[in-house]
Amino acid sequence: MGLASSLRFRRRNNKTFLRIFMILVLSCIPGRTNLCSNHSVSTPTDLPPSNHPHIYSSLDSLDLEGYISFNDVHIAAKDFGNRYHSPPLAVLHPRSVSDISSVMKHILHLGSTSNLTVAARGHGHSLQGQALAHQGVVISMESLRSPDIKIYKGKHQQPYVDVSGGELWINILRETLKHGLSPKSWTDYLHLTVGGTLSNAGISGQAFKYGPQINNVYQLEIVTGKGEVVTCSEKQNSELFYSVLGGLGQFGIITRARIALGPAPLMVKWIRVLYSDFSAFSRDQEHLISKENAFDYVEGFVIINRTNLLNSWRSSFSPNDTTEASQFKSDGKTLYCLEVAKYFNQEEANSINQETEKLLSELSYIPSTLFSSEVPYIDFLDRVHIAEIKLRAKGLWEVPHPWLNLLIPKSRIFDFATEVFNNILTSNNNGPILIYPVNQSKWNKRTSMITPNEDIFYLVAFLPSAVPNSSGKNDLEYLLKQNQRVLSFCEAANINVKQYLPHYETQKEWRSHFGSRWETFAKRKHAYDPLAILAPGQRIFQKATHLSPIQLL
């Protein structure tokens, strides 16, 4: 049923209409595939001019502390994935929370006379246009960064830091380290914003222990889709709090966040060991995440073809291991690399080797393949940035990134690995393939994030770059087909996988992604963003343009 039939229905029965309308509009996937239906970077040209000139002047005349610009829309037209391209009408550079609230209220007030949608843009490191707003308003969240990051050390309470939603995690780390403190849960890469990762989950090698980043937030300040500024936490407006965490930007804009801190270590013992047997590898990973006081970080990756061990952008391990690794002989078999880290301070410098040796003695990796190094905590956490600098220098950073992130229930990880790593993938495809388990019984289940329904599941991340190969051809199409083969296999083998950083084209797929939680998600959307103005690039809901605002009915 489309909007036309719902409109006809409305004339007959207003009250029933209200209920049905909610279901219809909120379950509607944008019919306009203008937002980047094409896998190549291109500007859609087949669209009606979506907004009248008065929209420009009305936006322009808003009284703001920051400003709105119409001539720098190209900065918000694409993302890290570099496959989707769609310029907004305007970019808001907010100086204050009330700037964001004013713009939201203004757009709400314009109602059906405009097609304007709003997307918060963190660092624009999405992969499939999630932070774009076709002919809408993009809010440059980094403009909201405040120079002083406030740290509360707390005598009776856990320490925390209050930050802007547009703050980069790397800056938070630098600031908290000055006080000997640090956030507990991370992403592999720190040049991402708080609002961006909290809208997804924020998963890395610490998540087995502390849960994802959305598990380590005490309080949020949100501008809802209705323009209201709301403070929320586990105790206060908790429904909004948990909606927004992992909520794909659908319910409000995170303007401030209170992030949990713990003591920061000085140094990190960083270890890699190799396996040729997947069962042994995953058994050891699962063993390590089940142990209290074992390693502080547990990840792993797949090496399909040994030659790529040295080329992989994430393998900037230490200057020394390159030589060691190149001396390691394998017969071209698929290898699995377990990557673990143990944090330590000066006073533990002597005991750290003993401690890690004991932990390693419980594992069954190939003995000659131990690579270890000791690095400062900040260098360890910021490791991917070093690779970024190198790739940028070679022009290999701003290329298409057809990434695929999957969450796979433990009961099927062996089936998945057997087929995907041996039969579907034939090389590492110019990028790492991460794989590690987490125990989600330690995760808060009230957030909007969708996970498989087993306590233990694996994050498997295919992170290729589509670069021109030696014959000058770009392998993007090939990589996309490969992703599709992986997904098709999961479906055929009936593996209950969930996408992380999900991206879907159809309503059926989004509903199946959310499963039994779809109704709640849609109900919350209606409560906090009734016109579906926010984060259109996720393509879950379409803005209700032709109808009067729901809350007035």
Ligand X SMILES: *[C@@H]1O[C@H](CO)[C@@H](O)[C@H](O)[C@H]1NC(C)=O
Distance CA 479, CA 465 (A): 9
Q: Residue 257 or 459: which CB sits closer to ligand X? A: 459
Distance CA 324, CA 330 (A): 13
Per CB under 6 A, contacts with ligand X among 358-397 are 373
Per CB under 6 A, contacts with ligand FAD among 144-173 are 165
Question: What are the residue ranges of helices labelled H in 13-52?
Answer: 14-27
307 lies in the binding site for ligand X (CB under 6 A): yes
Written as one letter, the residue type at 293 is: N
Distance CA 30, CA 53 (A): 24
Residue 65 is among the residues annotated as catalytic for this protein: no
User: Around Cβ 237, how many Cβ atoms within 10 Å?
Assistant: 15
Q: Residue 188 or 419: which CB sits closer to ligand FAD? A: 188
Distance CA 205, CA 328 (A): 25
129 lies in the binding site for ligand FAD (CB under 6 A): no
121 lies in the binding site for ligand FAD (CB under 6 A): yes
Residue 72 is among the residues annotated as catalytic for this protein: no
254 lies in the binding site for ligand FAD (CB under 6 A): yes
Q: Which stretch binds ligand X (CB under 6 A): 43-51, 64-72, 174-182, 352-360?
A: 43-51
- Closest alpha carbon to 497 in 425, 417, 551, 423: 417
Q: Which stretch binds ligand X (CB under 6 A): 71-79, 91-99, 111-119, 193-201?
A: 111-119
189 lies in the binding site for ligand FAD (CB under 6 A): yes
Apex 352 CA angle, 349 and 356, nearest 5: 160
Per CB under 6 A, contacts with ligand X among 420-459 are 426-427, 439, 441-442, 455-456
Among 162, 284, 296, 475, binds ligand X (CB under 6 A): 475
462 lies in the binding site for ligand FAD (CB under 6 A): no
340 lies in the binding site for ligand FAD (CB under 6 A): no
431 lies in the binding site for ligand FAD (CB under 6 A): no
322 lies in the binding site for ligand X (CB under 6 A): no
3-state percent breakdown (helix, strand, coil) of the chain, nearest 5: 35, 20, 40
- Bridging pattern class, strands 217-224 and 252-263: antiparallel
Are 94 and 64 in contact, with CB atoms under 8 Å apart?
yes
Are 459 and 228 in contact, with CB atoms under 8 Å apart?
no
For 41-56, the DSSP string reads: -----S----S-HHHH
Exposure string of 102-120, with b = 16+ CB inside 10 Å and e = fewer, is bbbbbbbebeeebbbbbbb
**408 has which bridge partners?**
458
Q: Residue 113 or 238: which CB sits closer to ligand X? A: 113
Residue 455 is among the residues annotated as catalytic for this protein: no
Footprint on this chain of ligand FAD (rule: CB under 6 A): 79-80, 119-126, 130-131, 141, 165, 187-189, 192-193, 195-197, 199-204, 248-249, 253-254, 384, 501, 535, 537-538
Catalytic residue numbers read 125, 188, 299
Footprint on this chain of ligand X (rule: CB under 6 A): 32, 38-40, 42, 48, 50-52, 113-115, 290, 305, 307, 318, 320, 332, 373, 426-427, 439, 441-442, 455-456, 469-471, 473, 475, 478, 545
